[in-house]
Amino acid sequence: MAKHLALLCGSFHKTEIEVMVAAAKDEAEQRGLDVSMEVWVPGSMEKPLALDWLLRRADIDGVVILGVIERGQTLHGEVMGHVVERSYIDLSLKYQKPIGQGIIGPGALPEHLPSRLEPYARAAVAAAARMLDLKDQLAG
C-alpha cells in the first residue's frame, strides 16, 4: 500500500518552488510514494498552521516542506527560520508523522538557489521516505 505525502510550499518564491515541486514529485514516484496533496501558502510564517492541518489528516502519512528563506538586511529571516523550524519538529512529534524539510536558508542569496532547488527537494522526500520506512520497521 502506497504511503501518501503532502507537499507544503511557500508561494513567495513561486518560480523556484515549482522547480522543487517537480523534483519532489519525481523523487516520490521513484520511491513508490504518492504525492496526494500540494498545498501553497504565502510564506514560511504560514507553514506551521497549514502543517498542523495536514498532519492531523488520516490520509496523509508525511509532509515535505519546500521553500526559501532569503538573507535580508535584518535578522528577520534568520529568526523566522529558527522559530518555524522548531514548530515543524514539535508538530512531527505531536502527530508522529515524518516531515521532510526542503527549505533553502535562512540566509540564502539569489545566487545560492539554482544549484540547491532540486537537491534540497529530493533530499526532503528521501528523508520523509526513510522515516516512513523506519516507522514501519519499529512498529513491530
Rg (CA), the chain: 14
Residue 32 DSSP one-character state:
T
Half-sphere exposure of 124 (CA within 13 A, CB side): 30
34, three cell numbers: 504518492
| Amino acid (1-letter code) at residue 75 | L
Q: Supply the residues annotated as catalytic.
A: 76
Query: Whose CA is closest to 10, among 65, 52, 62?
Result: 65
Pairwise CA distance, residues 133 & 116, whole Å:
26
Pairwise CA distance, residues 57 & 96, whole Å:
12
98: how many CB neighbours lie within 10 A of its CB?
22
